[in-house]
Amino acid sequence: ETGVTQTPRHLVMGMTNKKSLKCEQHLGHNAMYWYKQSAKKPLELMFVYSLEERVENNSVPSRFSPECPNSSHLFLHLHTLQPEDSALYLCASSHGQGGTEAFFGQGTRLTVV
């Protein structure tokens, strides 16, 4: 659809588990992003990667750990999450040159129990 694929689409994990979210794009984009969408809140930008280097981290707790091994793949490693971390996690990519649109994946619906 948009060219950005996220897996899994749904994830239920306990507070002591470790899991990873995956995002993949083959649009030739240089920048990739993680957003968190909670009910009745604006989308929160979590991390920005440009050419595989992290350029922004918006004060995200260390229980969220991003990884960008190459410009096409982005991961979000999760460990010892809290129930309030339950949300829709969205990955996006863009050309990264400013002034262009972002392409979003379908998101991973995360539930922490």
Residues 65-94 touching other proteins, rule: CB under 8 A, are 88, 90, 92, 94
Q: Is the peptide bond before 61 cis (omega within 30 degrees of 0)?
A: no
Which one of residues 16, 40, 62, 84 is an interface residue with other proteins (CB under 8 A)?
40
By 3-state DSSP, what share of the chain in percent is helix, strand and coil, each rounded to 5?
5, 55, 40
Which one of residues 17, 63, 73, 103 is an interface residue with other proteins (CB under 8 A)?
103
* Cα–Cα distance, 9 to 100 (Å, whole number): 26
Task: Report if residue 59 touches other proteins, rule: CB under 8 A.
Answer: no
Task: Report if residue 42 touches other proteins, rule: CB under 8 A.
Answer: yes
Which one of residues 3, 20, 22, 43 is an interface residue with other proteins (CB under 8 A)?
43
Q: How far is the CB of 70 from other proteins (least distance, A)?
A: 17
> Which residues, at least 6 apart from 72, have a Cβ–Cβ distance to it below 8 Å?
24, 25, 26
